[in-house]
Amino acid sequence: MKLYYAKGTCALSPHIALLEAGLKFELEKVDIRAKKLADGGDYLQVNPKGYVPALKTDDGKILTEGPAIVQYIADRKPDSGLAPACGTFERSQLQEWLNFIGTEIHKNFSPQFNPSLSQDVKDYARGNLTKRFDYLNKLLEGRRFLLGEHFTVADGYLYTVLSWAKPLGIDLSRWPALAAYHAGIGARPKVQEAQQAEA
């Protein structure tokens, strides 16, 4: 498999999943502004959407969208525990979390990185983040992971997007349980390995 990534993006989430699953893969860095691969090739030939992550499977198929990619990775190694079994209620809970993170956290961070958007738009999105962080902080009190006792791909995704808070001047210490959760996931060896590889 090959993971197409760019530093500081949500591609960190499938990178973490691949390492946690113990799967063999290659990394290919993408210049997402120029839409170019490291060798100068056209990234739009890989992913016409133009953003990362993208995953090339062992049989040459391309999968895009982080939540789909991390579930695909987890299903390649079911004994890793990165996702509950397909067809179970717990799997639907995982999908619920992946959707919540993608639509309520990730997409409210996105305006903060867009220089063409007004401050009013950014403030509105930041207000939404505050509400979602309030919810997560309450839910995570006394919990290490989103789905109970085991790390899943949802934890890797939430960790990834929460990592954008500090560079944007959002102090997670306002939400002690959320800050402790983020620090705990960040201490995992495979999470640190993924970050070091991308640095």
Claim to verify: residue 61 and residue 100 sit in the same structural domain: no
What mean pLDDT comes out for the span 15-26?
98
Claim to verify: residue 68 and residue 158 sit in the same structural domain: no
Q: With the CA atoms of 48, 50, 54 and 57 taken in that order, what torsion angle do they form, in degrees rounded to the nearest 10?
A: 30
Q: Residue 10 pLDDT more than 90?
A: yes
Per residue in 24-51, pLDDT (tens digit) is: 999 999 999 999 999 999 999 999 999 9
The model's pTM is 0.96
Closest CA to 198 of 151, 154, 160, 172: 160
* CB atoms closer than 10 angstroms to residue 118: 10
Q: Could you give the number of structural domains in the chain?
A: 2
Per residue in 153-191, pLDDT (tens digit) is: 999 999 999 999 999 999 999 999 999 999 999 999 999
What mean pLDDT comes out for the span 99-109?
97
CATH number at residue 99: 1.20.1050.10
Q: What percent of the chain shows pLDDT beyond 90?
A: 98
Closest CA to 27 of 161, 199, 187, 163: 199
* CB atoms closer than 10 angstroms to residue 133: 20
Say how far apart CA 59 and CA 99 lie, in whole Å: 27
Instruction: Please give the pLDDT value at position 199.
Output: 87
Claim to verify: residue 94 and residue 182 sit in the same structural domain: yes
Claim to verify: residue 93 and residue 183 sit in the same structural domain: yes
Q: Which two tokens stand for residue 182?
A: 């983020």
Claim to verify: residue 93 and residue 140 sit in the same structural domain: yes
| Residue 141, strand partner residues | none
Claim to verify: residue 72 and residue 137 sit in the same structural domain: no
Claim to verify: residue 51 and residue 108 sit in the same structural domain: no
Instruction: Please give the pLDDT value at position 17.
Output: 98
Per residue in 69-91, pLDDT (tens digit) is: 999 999 999 999 999 999 999 99
Claim to verify: residue 100 and residue 76 sit in the same structural domain: no
CATH number at residue 59: 3.40.30.10
Per residue in 135-159, pLDDT (tens digit) is: 999 999 999 999 988 999 999 999 9
Residue 22: pLDDT band (50, 70, 90) is very high
Closest CA to 82 of 161, 9, 22: 22
For the chain, the average pLDDT equals 97
Instruction: Please give the pLDDT value at position 148.
Output: 85
Claim to verify: residue 100 and residue 70 sit in the same structural domain: no
Claim to verify: residue 67 and residue 127 sit in the same structural domain: no
Claim to verify: residue 76 and residue 101 sit in the same structural domain: no
Contact 82, 17 (CB under 8 A): yes
Domain carrying residue 17? 2-80+191-198
Claim to verify: residue 115 and residue 74 sit in the same structural domain: no
